[in-house]
Amino acid sequence: MHVYTKQLLEFIENSPTAYQAVDSSAKILDEQGFVRLGAQDAWELEAGKGYYTVQNGTSIIAFRMPAGKIDSVMLAASHSDSPTFKLKAVCEADTGDYVKLNTERYGGMILSTWLDKPLSLAGRLVVKGEQGIKTVSVKVDRDLVLIPNVAIHQNRKHNDGFAFNAQTDMMPLYGMSSAKGSLMATVAEAAGVKAEDVVGSDLYLYNRTPATIWGADNAFFSAPRIDNLMCAYGTLQGFLQSAAAQNTLQVWACFDNEETGSRTKQGAGALWMRDTLERVCEGCGTDLRRVLPASMMLSADNAHAKHPNHPELSDAQNAPRMGGGVVIKANASQSYATDGISCAIFSEICKKAGVPTQSFANRSDSPGGSTLGSIADTLLPMNTVDIGMAQLAMHSSYETAACADNAHVVNASRAFFETAIKLDADGNYHI
């Protein structure tokens, strides 16, 4: 049970931001013999081989060419980003006694969970050298900053629903006044570059609290960024473990910026995915538009588990539990893309594979979140099912899920990739 969990926790440890998540994924693909393709290059694709391409360093698409012609696409998509804080352009704030870092919120997080935790910085640096301008991934691998709470004696409202202000309450402490002006040198040293060569950066806070497996029978694990690296890693493993298909293009994708709406050049709302699939299909003499009706997207993003202290926050009949299997998410407004057809097809795939499934729906009086499925399939109209693994404390800086579900997401996605969907002239689906 814990093999996949331990692998996931190592992946999370190596992926403090979307930049490192893509680097970690690319390394795994390289080890499996996949070939990296540049967007500016001419693609010469061979039957049966695996390839991948990267956008902006934070999104990645991998695909395996079928042995024969492309009749359908089986696509699993997840996201690489998590809620955090990003450094502003002028990022050091000198108060006279201390040096703080000037940050702004990225995505919707539970602010209080970032307080009194060991934090550091990761992301990328933009470096200018003799060969031109390049980007370098960076992770400062030590406890560097902390956002200090106010003592209860100085704020008696802490336990009465205190509202945190991102501008005043959430600025991380970096050092004493003598540390002023040293931050970029610290980050540059971690990246192995000269501070004077750094001409730009995209740097984020990350929580350095170590991941742990815990509970009776070690049923649970907790870590930063479970949403959504649990699905990203699980679907990647399912993709790599799946058998090659005869006439199906198998695609694994991990997009950036889901937490802020997906509408960026590297998000699920960009043309990048469609452009990539069109390049592949055109190289094989296939019309993507004719392939999409028999294709399917697995939009994988974690789901809310029934809370042990607040079961009333869930819909009583659609409240998944941790460890109960893959969660199929649905919403009448289509903030989740699941419909009757996609739910039935995916449920049948899981049933054949022996993978348990559960249902999630929001309370009817409470709006829920959304994910990338409905956004991506406006550009790639295909049957789409939104799934996830049940977890607690979504968008906390430290989240919790069940060890058993790591195997469930791998097994479900492997079965998904090995499925060939046929659509007959009468509109019937065969799997």
Among 169, 153, 151, 160, which Cα is nearest to 114's? Answer: 169
In the numeric block, which tokens belong to residue 317? 């009949």
For residue 219, tell me if it sits in a domain. no
Among 199, 152, 198, 148, which Cα is nearest to 174's? Answer: 148
Residues 16 and 120 in one domain: no
Q: For CA atoms 14, 17, 21, 22, give the dihedral sign.
A: negative
Identify the domain containing residue 137 by its residue range: 84-207
48: left (phi over 0), alpha (psi -120 to 50) or beta: left
For residue 216, tell me if it sits in a domain. no
Residues 93 and 196 in one domain: yes
Residues 235 and 366 in one domain: yes
Place of tokens 């060939």: 420
| Contact of 406 with 8, CB cutoff 8 Å | yes
- Whole-number Å distance between alpha carbons of 165 and 139: 27
Residues 105 and 190 in one domain: yes
- Whole-number Å distance between alpha carbons of 148 and 117: 8
Residues 78 and 139 in one domain: no
pTM over 0.85: yes
- Whole-number Å distance between alpha carbons of 53 and 32: 15
Given 207, 236, 251, the domain boundary residue is 207
Residues 161 and 270 in one domain: no
- Whole-number Å distance between alpha carbons of 260 and 228: 14
Given 155, 179, 207, the domain boundary residue is 207
For residue 212, tell me if it sits in a domain. no
Residues 317 and 171 in one domain: no
pLDDT digit string, tens, across residues 62-88: 999 999 999 999 999 999 999 999 999
| Contact of 379 with 349, CB cutoff 8 Å | no
CATH of the domain at 141: 2.30.250.10
At residue 117, the 3 state secondary structure works out as coil
Residues 111 and 180 in one domain: yes
User: Which secondary structure element, helix H or strand E, spans residue 327, and what is its range?
Assistant: strand 326-329
For residue 218, tell me if it sits in a domain. no
Place of tokens 């990246």: 191
Residues 69 and 109 in one domain: no
pLDDT digit string, tens, across residues 118-131: 999 999 999 998 88
For residue 214, tell me if it sits in a domain. no
Q: How far is CA 411 from CA 381, 396, 425, in A?
A: 26, 27, 31
Place of tokens 């290059």: 41
CATH of the domain at 234: 3.40.630.10
Alpha helices in 120-271 (DSSP H): 183-191, 226-241
Residues 78 and 88 in one domain: no
pLDDT (tens, 9 = 90+) of the chain, 431 residues, equals 589 999 999 999 999 999 999 999 999 999 999 999 999 999 999 999 999 999 999 999 999 999 999 999 999 999 999 999 999 999 999 888 999 999 999 999 999 999 999 999 999 999 998 889 999 999 999 999 999 999 999 998 889 888 999 999 999 999 999 999 999 999 999 999 999 999 999 999 999 999 999 999 999 999 999 999 999 999 999 999 999 999 999 999 999 999 999 999 999 999 999 999 999 999 999 999 999 999 999 999 999 999 999 999 999 999 999 999 999 999 999 999 999 999 999 999 999 999 999 999 999 998 888 899 999 999 999 999 999 999 999 999 999 999 999 999 999 999 999 999 999 999 999 99
Given 207, 235, 258, the domain boundary residue is 207
Residues 65 and 112 in one domain: no
Residues 252 and 358 in one domain: yes
Q: Which residues are registered as beta bridge partners of 391?
A: 304, 401
For residue 391, tell me if it sits in a domain. yes
Among 177, 175, 388, which Cα is nearest to 302's? Answer: 388
The total of structural domains in the chain comes to 2
